Chain A
Amino acid sequence: MAPFSFSPATANVVAALIGFCFGFVLERGGFGNARNLAAQFYLYNMRVLKVMFTAIITAMVLICLASALGLLDFELLYVPPTHLWPGILGGLILGVGFIVGGYCPGTSLVSMATLKTDGTIFALGVVAGSLLFGPIVAIPAVWNFWNNSGDLGRLTWADVLGIDAGWIVLAVLVMAFGAFAAAEVCERIFSRPSERPTALAPKARLARRAGVGLAIGMALAAIAAGQPTIDRRVDWQRESLDARLASRQVHIDPGELLDLMHNNQIQLVLVDVRDESDFNRFHLADARNITLEDLAAGKPKEIDPKEIFVVMSNDEARAEQAWKRLAVRRGANAYVLAGGLNRWLDVFADNKANLPGPDSPVAGDDTPRHSFDGALGARHAASRPSPQRIAERPFQSKVKILTPVKAPGGGCG
């Protein structure tokens, strides 16, 4: 399933090829000429609006449909994170730069490539502006504004409105077609008589109808199929998920988990997927009781790539089902407690020696094998064994501690 990952060298070649097509189409669309671009703002030549919005809706419909059909994993796409206020300020500055200079960064490259002096000077200006941003953003107040003001992370309209993305796509299409109709009227009103657009040829009229119909049809198809639920994504990725489980690379030893529990450098999230009654009788310190249904419904809502999830049940079967539902989430770093809480209690409550390591599966039926005097919750000694006991269970570390490098704002790089 797309998108694909490439080696750095291949990624560069792919980026260059995509860039080539991008530059070619921009130039063909007239975007290498500041006069075509500036005309947008005097209302008698709405080329910029038409090209931009047609491009946005074309890509939007295709992304939405491909995601609904399971061809493209939307969770893996880079959606520019929402930094609301810096985005609004930046947009305003950019808009002013647009009408003053006549280009935007991408179009100035195309203008420069076709040897336009103004485009080349504009491009040099962009380099200067980018240089200037360094010292400006170094001012603490600006840095704080740039990073923290309106920082809403990866946020789409589907997230905000809580409805299927297909409906939003349909609404945007209707808006865009309305905008195109308004643009045509605008051009007619603000044109000189001699430049007034001529009536559309029958062929062009047919093409326009076909395009509108196709876009609406694709949006309706995307709505009918629906954006994938977590369980559908698990289904699509079943093979690779099962292979990861079978290789036991995500099963961690009780010893490793205890080590993580005493590591204050990481964000550990313990997910206990047993029944509430089992959970009340005994659970690990700070464990959260989340059911399989909750996980399927998208809980926890936000997943930080810095968080380390360890899923546990009495044995392993239910934890593995839960793990799959976490593993398909974007940025999830999830593991299964090998042997479940039954083995955990064998080690840290019953002090049994010679227990199997994390690479041997257990065949248990996921029922508790230990009994407690009432509902102890996390008040049991084995809920948080002391760090001295880490040494009792030598383990080979499997957990990957990620320190995600934040993309240094920009383009979509």
Chain B
Amino acid sequence: MASQSMPESRGLPARNDPEGLWNPYVAGVALGLVLFAAFFITGSGLGGSAGFARLAAFIQAAVAPGSADTSAYLAPMAGGGRNPLDNNMVWMTLGVIAGGFTSGWLGGRVKVETLKGRQIDRRTRWAMALLGGILMGLGARFARGCTSGQALSGGAALSVGSWAFMIMVFAGAYMLAYPLRKLWN
């Protein structure tokens, strides 16, 4: 191993990644315009985790009817016979899926595959994706929003809590980036 020279490419895409993606600053301006349009037209920004929270509330209410009425957390979404999916954030979630599919389809990026680093197998990647998703679901509920609703939307509106949140997201990820480098590189 020691005699091997450093590999020329790594597990993760280099900066000049030829995938037909937009330049990051161009994509950023486009995303900023969508975010501004959301604020300007509807008065609130974008949301990524609200749809998940409502789907979870829907499942909870379906599996254990009546449980939502006694939960102070679920009652506003699913209590008193409310349908937690009857909310415009659910529609935004559906829109995100449709928009993501359209862009990927036009760019030839729709295909069944598992995206992972080179040093782990697919099963490990799947397990890590599940674990990461669970943490993300929990964290987003604790923070009352995720990278979309808090970091992007609250950040653009100069919300103090959103900026604190954003710094912590980067802090949490950088903290574990080195110990977990085998997952990705």
Contact = CB atoms under 8 A, between A and B. Distances in A.
A411 B36 CA distance: 16
Interface string A44-65: 1111001111111111101100
A115 interface: yes
A386 to B, nearest CB: 39
Interface string B82-122: 00000111011111111111111101011111111100001
B12 A35 contact: yes
Given A16-B91, A54-B25, A93 B157 contact: no
14 contacts: A25-B99, A28-B27, A42-B10, A87-B165, A107-B48, A107-B147, A117-B114, A121-B133, A130-B137, A133-B73, A134-B56, A137-B141, A191-B15, A410-B54
A150 B54 CA distance: 25
Closest 3 A/B residue pairs (Cβ): A101-B132, A125-B133, A129-B137
Given A86-B142, A108-B133, A113-B101, A80 B154 contact: yes
A15 B112 CA distance: 28
B65 interface: no
Contact of B52 (A66, A90, A127, A152): A127
Contacts of A121: 126, 129-130, 133
A279 to B, nearest CB: 37
Interface stretch (A154-162, A228-236, A246-254, A352-360): A154-162
A115 B31 CA distance: 22
Nearest to A91: B168
Interface centre among B55, B57, B109, B134 (most CB of A within 10 A): B134
A11 B132 contact: no
Interface of A: 2-6, 8, 11-30, 32-36, 38-42, 44-47, 50-60, 62-63, 66, 72, 76-84, 86-119, 121-134, 136-138, 143, 146, 150, 152, 154-160, 165, 168-169, 172, 180, 187, 191-192, 194-195, 197-198, 204, 208, 211, 405-413
Contacts of B37: 18, 21
A28 B161 contact: no
Contacts of B11: 35
Contact of B135 (A129, A169, A411): A129
A46 to B, nearest CB: 8
B66 to A, nearest CB: 14
Given A118-B114, A146-B142, A44 B14 contact: yes
B32 A412 contact: no
Nearest to B138: A129
B167 interface: yes
Contacts of B1: none
Contacts of B43: 2-5, 76-78
A207 to B, nearest CB: 8
Given A118-B116, A158-B158, A409-B144, A77 B133 contact: no
Given A408-B73, A413-B87, A87 B92 contact: no
Interface in B40-88: 40-57, 59-60, 71-74, 76-77, 87-88
Contacts of B116: 34-35, 118
A208 B6 CA distance: 34
B173 A96 contact: yes
A66 B39 CA distance: 11
Contact of B95 (A22, A87, A155): A22
